[in-house]
């Protein structure tokens, strides 16, 4: 009767591992409502954003808008006819942007979509565009992030002078300043996070269930051996 007992023990172990995996759940790094899940055209039209553009067929482009300047000279795709910069202040978009940068950052109040367009409206990645943007007063610990439509991020080198920061685009779609969040009184003295996003109570229940199941199977095996 050893084989049935071994099979039951193996089955119990598989069930316990499956329950543990369920208890851990998916990672908490996923962010819902990415602007990249819809086309940029839908985003612009739905939220009434303004496009600032300049012709780049002569190999350079300059744009000046509210709170920003953009300049590019050289390195422009051959099919590009215009440089486009779109300031975005929609709260949902800014929350997504700051979330992509990481949980320790909060939005600096604006982000920018920066890209080239072909004559037919096809968008092209815009790298090498020199951006200078105004930053809110009291920004404190500041950083500049670029974010792709899929949520991929990079921290960019930047130069801060007075109330402005300057950086160079890296080909992603969105750019903007973020500020480090101040620790709340509840979390200031808390231990660093361990990365375990599971629920402790659920984990404990799974462990108790697994232990009880294995103990029961072991007792059954001992009784069978005693016979």
**Domain locations in the chain as residue ranges:** 2-25+198-226, 35-186
Ranges assigned E (strand) in 56-126:
60-65, 68-73, 82-88, 105-107, 111-117, 123-125
Asked if residue 108 lies in contact with residue 138, where contact means CB atoms within 8 angstroms, the answer is no
Mean pLDDT by 10 residues, the chain (227 residues): 52 46 34 45 63 95 96 95 92 86 85 94 93 79 88 91 93 91 56 48 57 62 61
Token duo for residue 14: 């598989």
Tokens of 90: 């929609």
Strand pairing of 60-65 and 82-88?
unpaired
Phi, psi of 123 (to 5 degrees): -85, 145
Q: Residue 85's beta-bridge partner residues?
A: 52, 114
Structural element, H or E, at residue 195: none
Q: Are residues 149 and 114 in contact, defined by beta-carbon separation less than 8 angstroms? A: no
The second-level CATH assignment, the architecture, of 35-186 is Sandwich (2.60)
3 state SS of 184 = coil
* Per-residue model confidence (pLDDT) at position 195: 44
């Amino acid at each position: 009767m050893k084989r049935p007992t071994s099979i039951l023990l193996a089955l119990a172990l598989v069930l316990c591992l499956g329950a543990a995996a369920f208890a851990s759940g998916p990672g908490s790094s996923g962010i819902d409502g990415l602007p990249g899940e819809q086309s940029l055209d839908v985003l612009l039209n739905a939220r009434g954003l303004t496009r600032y553009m300049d012709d780049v067929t002569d190999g350079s482009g300059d744009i000046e808008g509210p709170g920003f300047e953009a300049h590019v000279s050289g390195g422009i795709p051959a099919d590009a006819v215009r440089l486009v910069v779109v300031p975005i202040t929609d709260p949902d978009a800014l929350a997504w942007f700051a979330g992509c940068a990481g949980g320790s950052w909060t939005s600096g109040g604006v982000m920018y979509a920066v890209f080239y367009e072909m004559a037919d409206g096809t968008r092209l990645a815009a790298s090498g565009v020199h951006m200078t943007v105004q930053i809110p007063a009291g920004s404190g610990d500041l950083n500049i992030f670029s974010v792709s439509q899929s949520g991929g991020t990079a921290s960019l080198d930047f130069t801060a002078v007075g109330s402005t920061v300057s950086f160079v685009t890296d080909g992603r779609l969105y750019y903007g300043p973020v500020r480090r969040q101040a620790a709340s009184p509840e979390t200031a003295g808390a231990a660093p996070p361990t990365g375990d996003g599971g629920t402790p109570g659920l984990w404990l229940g799974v462990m108790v269930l697994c232990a009880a199941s294995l103990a029961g199977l072991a007792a059954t095996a001992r009784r069978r051996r005693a016979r």
